[in-house]
Each structure stands twice: as C-alpha cells, then as structure tokens.
Amino acid sequence: MTDLNSIHQPVLLDECVRLVSPALDHANAVVVDCTLGLAGHAIAVLRSAPQAHLIGIDRDEEALRLAGERMRREGLSDRFTPVHAAFDELEDVLGGEGIKEIDAAFMDLGLSSLQIDETERGFSYAHDAPLDMRMDTGQTLTAADILSSYSMQRLTTIFREYGEERFSRPIARAIVDSRESAPLRTSKDLNELVDATVPKAHRPAGNPAKRVFQALRIEVNGELEKLSQTLPQIAAHLKLHGRIVVESYHSLEDRTVKRFMTAGTRVNVPPGLPIIPKEAQPYFKDLTHGAVMADEAQIADNPRSASVRLRAVELIRRIPEQTLRQYEEDRKGRG
C-alpha cells in the first residue's frame, strides 16, 4: 500500500509549473496532465492556477484512485477530472468531456512513484518480482510474454532500438536458447541471464540489465508509439498561446519530443525566399531554448532527475490546415 505522505516531489516541478501556468491565467482555463501518476504535478499546477480545471489521464487505475484521494485532501477535487485512458486517446478523452480546445498540456514520461515502489509490478531490476511491467494492468501483454514468444531478431531490435543496448543480439540469443528449459519469469531470472551474457569488461555503470528492462517496458506499453501519436493531438486542440510541456527521461523520448517541437519552430520555405508566406511561418515558440536539465543540487536530492530533459513550446499562430491534415494522416497510418 502506497503511503501518500512519503511520495517524493516530482522532478523539475517548479520549472514545469512555471512553464505551464502563464497559459492558465484566465477564467475557465483547461489543462491536461497526460501522465497523472500520483498527481504531484497536477496539484502544483492547480495551486498555481486557481481558475484552471485539470483533466488527469492515466492508464493505471490504482494511480487514478490515489490521485483522487490526494486531490480531496488538498481541497482541489472540484477542479479535477480523472480519466482512465492511455494518453494517445487524448482526442477521445476531450470529446467525452465536451472539450474542443485546451490551454495547456504536460507530460512527465518517467515512471511514477507508484510503479517504482510497488515491486510486484516488475518495473525495477533492483527487486525480484514477476516480469509484468504493464502500466495498465487491464492489458494482456506482459514482459514475460515478450521474452517467451518474440523471435530472436525481434528481441534484438527491441533491445537495440529501445534500450540502445550494445549486446542486444547476444542477450536475445541467450533468451531464446534458455526459454524452453528455463523460461524467464522474474526480474531476478532476467538479471542473471544478462549478467552471464554481457562481458564484464564492457559493462556500463550500474546494473548491466538496466537497458534491457527499459526496452521491455517501452515495448510492453507502446510508449514511443503513443508519444508520437499524442503530441499532434495536443497541438491540434491547443488554443492560441497555449503551451505544451514535456519531461523525458531517455534519448529516444527526448528525440521524439524535440523533433516534433522543432518542426513547428522552423520557417518551412526554401533558403533565400524573399517573402515568407504566412502558412510557412513558425507556429511554435521555443520556451526552453533547448532542453532544461536538473542541476547538481536537484540530482543530489533526487538521483532519478539526472536524465531528465524538459522542453516546452507556445502556440503563437494557428497551425496550418495542411499540417493538421498531415497529423491526422500519420495517426491513421500508424493505427
């Protein structure tokens, strides 16, 4: 059982609130927390924006329950709507609430305290637990399923692309070779297999299985696909001068966010064009000028903040219809 009094402060909380709040300084403002978790960001945002209403989305029903309890304790529940969904279902969520436009949205893509602290969920390589890793326990696919059924080539690709693991192929081969006689059921099983496979002279700092666990979590939950589907949905429903704020924790997430935001901050014309058409002018303003990172004091207080990259943009003009159509075509293509 999670102790609500012992929940750690979210990473870069003050910076996140500072970036979100200016878009919420008016009556009936609407902000979406796409990764509600235990509502650390959500509570801070509502405190800083007393006129705003927050929609909190999470795939984890236990997180939603605990977030609701925290909101009641803080006296904020009348300005809070919890929704059980994946964040790439944002459009459906807004439609269900009768909302066409929002003033801001933010995402904290790291694991929540709930997922880290409840060891039976199998997210952490530091505790022996079943290889589950589902953020939404209602879905069927688990990490153990992936390890027992995916081909060696597919496992290699996942470990290489999602974990940036140098020894992806040997690890995948070892998994396939071992699973008939000794299927991997727990985090200890996977730790031991990776430990026996990765040469000691080439191990990164910390647990050698760290990147494999990361890759499995991303695959189980479809994290990168959902992120690339969600960012255009946010942009399409953003009011003028609305803001998007995203905290990423590994390079693949940050690359996806950076690519999306940068596309909207650039002039989309051939070099040397004397007059820039309105539809080719930037529609995003870069609010962070690159990525904001935790300083030494923040890292010392919370080591999990060492890898965070915080990016934010403001919508400074309407997104061209052609770009919105491309968003929709890309979403349908992926679907």
Binding residues for S-adenosyl-L-methionine: 39-41, 58, 87, 108, 115
- Please spell the DSSP secondary structure of 112-165, one letter per residue: PHHHHH-GGG---TTS--BS---SSTTS---HHHHHHHS-HHHHHHHHHHHH--
Report the candidate in 159, 228, 157 with the shortest Cα–Cα distance to residue 193. Answer: 159
* Other residues' Cβ atoms within 10 Å of the Cβ of residue 70: 18
CA–CA distance, 75 with 330 (Å, rounded to integer): 41
Residue 170 tokens, joined: 């040997």
Task: Sort strands 284-286 and 309-315 into parallel, antiparallel or unpaired.
Answer: antiparallel
* Other residues' Cβ atoms within 10 Å of the Cβ of residue 59: 21
State whether the Cα torsion 97-99-100-102 is positive or negative. negative
Strands (DSSP E) contained in the chain are 29-33, 52-58, 80-84, 102-108, 238-248, 284-286, 309-315
Instruction: Describe the crossing of helices 187-197 and 210-221 by its angle, rounded to 10 degrees.
Output: 130
DSSP structure class, residue 186: B
CA–CA distance, 214 with 133 (Å, rounded to integer): 10
